[in-house]
Amino acid sequence: MAANERRAILVVDDVEVNRVILREIFQDKYTILEAENGIEALEVIDAHGEILAAVVLDIIMPVMDGFGVLEILHERNFMEKVPVFLITAECTEESTLRGYELGVMDVIERPIIAHIVKKRIESIMELCTMRNQLNQQVQLQEIELDEKTKEIQGLNNAMIGALATAIEFRDCESGEHVKRIHDLTLFFLQKTAFGKGLKKAEIDKIATAAIMHDVGKIAIPDYILNKPGRLTAEEFLIMKTHTVRGCELLDQIPAIHHNSVYHYAYDICRHHHERWDGRGYPDGLKGDEISPWSQIVSLADVYDALTSERIYKQAYSHEKAVEMIIGGECGIFNPALMEEFLKLSREIKEMMQSQQSGCGCGKIGESQADSSRGESA
Marked catalytic residue, from 191, 200, 205, 217: 217
The CA-based angle 57-63-65, given to 5 degrees, is: 30
Our answer to whether residue 217 is catalytic in this structure is yes
Q: Which residues of 177-211 are buried (b: 16+ CB within 10 A; e: fewer)?
A: bbbbbbbbbbbbbeebebbeebeeebbbbbbbbbb
Please measure the distance between the N-terminal and C-terminal CA atoms of the chain and give it in whole angstroms: 70
d(CA 196, CA 292) in angstroms, rounded, equals: 10
Provide the phi-psi class of 172: left if phi over 0, else alpha when psi is between -120 and 50, else beta: left
d(CA 309, CA 119) in angstroms, rounded, equals: 81
* Sheet of strand 8-12: strand arrangement: 31-35, 8-12, 52-57, 84-88, 106-109
- Helix (H), strand (E) counts: the chain: 15, 5
d(CA 224, CA 240) in angstroms, rounded, equals: 11
Q: Hey, is 30 helix, strand or coil?
A: coil
84 in Cβ contact with 103 (< 8 Å) = yes
Q: How many angstroms separate the Cα of 152 from the Cα of each of 48, 207, 255, 256?
A: 43, 17, 13, 12
Catalytic center residues: 217
